[in-house]
A and B are shown apart, each in its own frame.
Chain A
Amino acid sequence: MLRTDCLKEIARLRGDALVVAVYSSAFEWIGISPHPLNFLSVGAMGQASSSALGFAIGLPDRRIIVLDGDGSLLMNLGSLVTIAGVAPANLTHFVCQNGCYEANGEHPIPGQDKISFSGFARSAGYRVVTEFSDLDTLRTELPGFMQAPGPSFATLHVRAGQKPELDYSLVHGPEARRQFQASLAATLDSRS
């Protein structure tokens, strides 16, 4: 599956979810699903899942979606256990598995052809775990998966399409952070 095709399917179903995205997925995501509650400033590689958990605790009434990378998640595998322990029903965790550090020269991840991220998530104790390798199945099963109470986890076996331009100021820069914080503040004000 092309990663962009997967992201388009997720975007179709995101509703008002807050989405945490990293690296290549993040750059593609902001083109596919521009939204004031896209959180792209995870600050340190591997931290997307932990940021998402913080948002899931802080915003229990809102769906939190994390678009993780395989290399990123390998840096924070313990977060799977932490998330499963807290068990936030509003957290949906995708990992785009392409087997390489795409943004850093496409070197293979360790154990590229052996590891199972869904296996990790299942063993950690996520409530719902699945994986998708073809787009037709994804289209059919994604609505049910995304509506299920979490924490839920799906591995997306993807290949990169046309490489996005990696302008990191778009995700880490002060303006990107200011816009997200202002949007989240407005969301919180509207609830109070």
Chain B
Amino acid sequence: MSTETGAATLLDGGAIIRVMLQAALDTIVALPDITTSAGLLWPLSRQPDVNLVRICKEDEGVSICAALALCRKRSALLMQQTGLFDSLNAVRGIAVEYKLPVCMFVGLLGKEPGVPPSQNKKYSVRTVLPVLDAMEVPTLSIEENSDIAKILEAVDRAYAESRPLVVLFGRRVKP
């Protein structure tokens, strides 16, 4: 069994969803991402108290979440890091320069479990944090199940301070 799929190394999707709902993130704007698909997006799509908006391209989600925040509604944008890279101009203009609480939950495709993102072999993983740091976007890395509880405080702070947040999932999420 590989370490990527071994049950002991997978993140607990149920625990993540409970924290997301505790943080009042009841509108989920999403494109599928294989890291979080089975453990987050599919279960969220079956939650009766969650409004799921399926989008065609990730930058749409930045604008949707920003407008919802202006309407005092909390939301989360689920995507893969490739979609985050594709959305950087929207993140720059809307979330950072306009100072709006856009919470992005990002699965790191291709990340080696247990290896810090900065030390990964893959360029597409290794460059995520430096890019977000350069853009002054706060991040939270979820590597272990013990990290999941930190999501609540990070989301609350993003809304309290009206600024974006990127939560990075470094392992696959199990249902």
Interface residues of A (CB under 8 A from B): 41-44, 46-47, 50-55, 57-59, 76, 78-79, 81-82, 85-86, 177, 180-181, 184, 188
Contacts and interface: CB of A to CB of B under 8 A. Distances in A.
Contact of A54 (B68, B72, B89): B68
Contacts of A57: 27, 51, 53, 64, 67-68, 71, 73
B70 A44 contact: no
Contacts of B63: 42-44, 47, 50-51, 53-54
Interface string B45-77: 000000101111101111111111011110000
Nearest to A124: B56
A54 B57 contact: no
Main secondary structure of the interface of A (DSSP, over half): helix
Contact of B89 (A44, A85, A86): A44
A82 B71 contact: no
Nearest to B88: A44
Interface stretch (B7-15, B90-98, B129-137, B167-175): B90-98
Contacts, number: 94
Interface of B: 27, 51, 53-57, 59-68, 70-73, 89-90, 92-94, 97-98
Contacts of A180: 70
A38 B98 CA distance: 16
A59 to B, nearest CB: 6
B60 A43 contact: no
A181 B89 contact: no
Nearest to A60: B71
8 contacts: A41-B98, A42-B63, A44-B89, A51-B63, A54-B65, A58-B70, A76-B59, A82-B56
A8 to B, nearest CB: 26
Question: Most chain-B Cβ atoms within 10 A of its Cβ — which of A42, A55, A58?
Answer: A58
Given A43-B98, A44-B93, A44-B94, A51 B55 contact: no
A79 to B, nearest CB: 5
A46 B60 CA distance: 9
B64 A54 contact: yes
Contacts of A42: 63, 94
A184 B56 contact: no
B68 A85 contact: no
Contacts of B51: 57
Contact of A58 (B60, B71, B89): B71
Question: Most chain-B Cβ atoms within 10 A of its Cβ — which of A44, A59, A181?
Answer: A44
A53 B70 contact: no
A-B complex: 8 closest residue pairs judged by Cβ atoms:
A54-B67, A58-B71, A78-B56, A43-B93, A50-B63, A43-B94, A54-B64, A50-B60
